[in-house]
Structure 1
């Protein structure tokens, strides 16, 4: 071990002072070299490193986006190299459809796949401490969740990460260095009520071949959150051989109210047995009754018998939405009657045996919009006539 003998500078000449300064500089170099030597021999890092993570916002509505941030600190006077981090989220938390990655730690390998529940980072560099300020960098990605609850992600202490194991590791002068305390981050997902629906026909009773207006009202019962919709498909009812279809013209309309409402698009082709609604958003209001109203004209061209009731139903979950809320089933009824009116009379109504009476048959078209073509008519009279 080198030794150093110091003298009081008060006894030095100018040249002696210069020699004293050189000796001090050499001493500092020796101390630094010894520190590095001891670090390498002992396999112990001189600095410490920390890792923390958080969500912003920490509480979201189902299906909303939260910005997830990993922050790494370095107290060493040299950069940390080969930094690696794996975070495996609870299955309820996934990378957003658009990850929107920000790689402030220069990770060479970044795995953050939309729909997956993990982040795998390798080959990062964490800057060294400057003065009294630790080096620091961050990695960010957008995440989402739909299931209500508190979902905790943990980066454990002293754990080497791999694609299946959460952890953090870096290297200081080729010596492995870890976080010594675990880091937890909680994403809370609020509970929302599902959208509801109601159906009605106006008029609710029509003649076969006459159009009626089908109205669907979609309601958001929540007072502080909108519900973005994906798709709603209404398959019109088939009763026996008689199919309800979109009328010509369809005369579709969409109207919405409430904060954040978006009308979306209602697509209905005349003659089709279904129609669809896409891209809308149910707004919200203080009363919990913001809604979107859809209308489309429909018709039942043919009928079996003199009257049939057509039930138009949407099953549970039919109101598709980005919040994964399951809507209850709902339906509406339309009564369809024959457009043929018939009357029969005799004059006189009472006769003696063998005496003639005039029978009058009256056929009428009860439709308000379509002509009625009679193709054939047979009246099977009683045997006595």
Structure 2
């Protein structure tokens, strides 16, 4: 089928147009691309060929210049791209600039400035609380309903989908062990998340208000924040996650702009506690997103977490992230935290799916409590689009290899 004739129902039609960075066979030059069906349009070359004023933003090896350009430019570029791929008069010019997906290499689409991870799913937080504090009257910590809990991660180990994940080593100590030991993690886990990509920076000392979320955040992607549960359990008291989280965070090669997700915007779950004014979104536009995520291990689907159940929204997370005056930089990435629904088949980590190893998963190739070397984990997802269509969110894939 010709590249412009995307089949009806394809989640990567002209209603989507996510951004990525690619190189062609035999070349090391990286270029900004836009996905259309099973092809990638060289957006920079297209802009130059059609005389676009935005060619200087698109003919680059990374998305960062476009991210920094701000919301007006984001909307203008998206309108132009939509016209380029839908107006028949452009086809002759653009046809040579469309590359089949199997023939290109996809790269990390933007330079990550800072990375922050949150803990925004009430279902996940309750499950973790029940696992680790079974005798507690309330599985949630006292602060959980009052602020989006988060921690600062490591930007330098954010990798693109398809990158192998080396099993990390570190100290671990089971409660019954007399002393800690060093070695590879035996409880390597996944965390199915959504990542939000910051475009427009902010000034240090000036918090970003809830209503300014869409002025600063360019788009989103699927994210797998791999976790070594045994390393984390020993090291995290009293300062929180460190080596058990910093070895790898995988993101999709495709960044879906917020402008493509208008039909997916929904109200978040009802709040059970009064919120301080900087987090109170009762009078704001709906800031939740109806995203459907699927987790597969070695090709076998093990869970389908719904992002619609997330208690804290991305707008609230951004407001909290900056309320102390912390500044935003172009390329900042923040993760939603593990996405888990209310049902067992909607949990976003093996910690929950196996209840910390008590209830192994039955896979076609054997039982799993945590990940084994050679296992391939794939996150995929979609969101509702215009006219009953679907917006594809790409995938995040990683294979566990021996350290």
| TM tier, smaller | under 0.3
The structure having more radius of gyration, on CA atoms, is: 1
With a CA cutoff of 8 Å and minimum separation of 6, indicate the structure with the bigger relative contact order: 2
Specify which structure has the higher proportion of helix. 2
More strand by share: 1
TM-score, structure 2 as length reference: 0.20
TM-score normalized by structure 1? 0.20
